[in-house]
Chains A and B, each alone.
Chain A
Amino acid sequence: DAGVIQSPRHEVTEMGQEVTLRCKPISGHDYLFWYRQTMMRGLELLIYFNNNVPIDDSGMPEDRFSAKMPNASFSTLKIQPSEPRDSAVYFCASSLSTSGGETQYFGPGTRLLVL
């Protein structure tokens, strides 16, 4: 079975441009998570979905960030307008549940550089 798929793997853009990151979770997983990883702040949860519904978006830094999950097999994280401080690796992860030893499976990440 394929793991979590993210695209693009690398993105370089200029400040002020719109950036869209994409994620396909593992089939059958009901939970989808978006994380951001930076040297300064480590790995932070931005938002997560359960059955396509956003459950907790308290980690979304500001209104420039938005996330959607139109169906069980696809999610997007959009930054508009992008700023240099948004440069980071963005991970998508999915899991069957959030209880017990059920782990989150991470995608390879999207490395974003905003110039």
Chain B
Amino acid sequence: AQKITQTQPGMFVQEKEAVTLDCTYDTSDPSYGLFWYKQPSSGEMIFLIYQGSYDQQNATEGRYSLNFQKARKSANLVISASQLGDSAMYFCAMRETDGTASKLTFGTGTRLQVTL
């Protein structure tokens, strides 16, 4: 079974609008972390935002916020006031602790295109 599922291969949003990128996860570990990364066409992976499984409030970082619904095992990324520079691939990732190992597992990504 997929540990991280991103069901939207591609999304379009108009400039200045908000957009939600979906991410669902599967884990039996009570302690885990969820991350979102951005990968522009230049190829680098850029960390955006983090949500811990025990965090009571949804994480926010500037125009990025994470809609964390623990019971539904979803961690959707919300980008407000989209800009042309937001066009990129977006990856959701989860960190679980498996014994002494603590690894990131990535979803397949969503390609976001911001239009005028």
Contact = CB atoms under 8 A, between A and B. Distances in A.
Contacts, number: 43
B35 interface: yes
A100 B52 contact: yes
A43 B107 CA distance: 8
A48 interface: yes
A98 B44 contact: no
A48 B103 contact: yes
- Chain A interface size, as a band, is 20 to 34
Interface stretch (A15-23, A61-69, A79-87, A105-113): A105-113
A109 B103 contact: no
B36 to A, nearest CB: 10
The main secondary structure of chain A at its interface with chain B is: strand
B30 interface: no
A108 B106 contact: no
Interface in B63-104: 91, 95, 100-104
A103 B103 contact: no
Contact of B43 (A55, A103, A104, A108): A108
A108 B44 contact: yes
Interface of A: 33, 42-43, 45, 48, 55-56, 89, 91, 93, 98-101, 103-109, 111
3 A-B pairs closest in CB distance: A98-B102, A106-B45, A101-B50
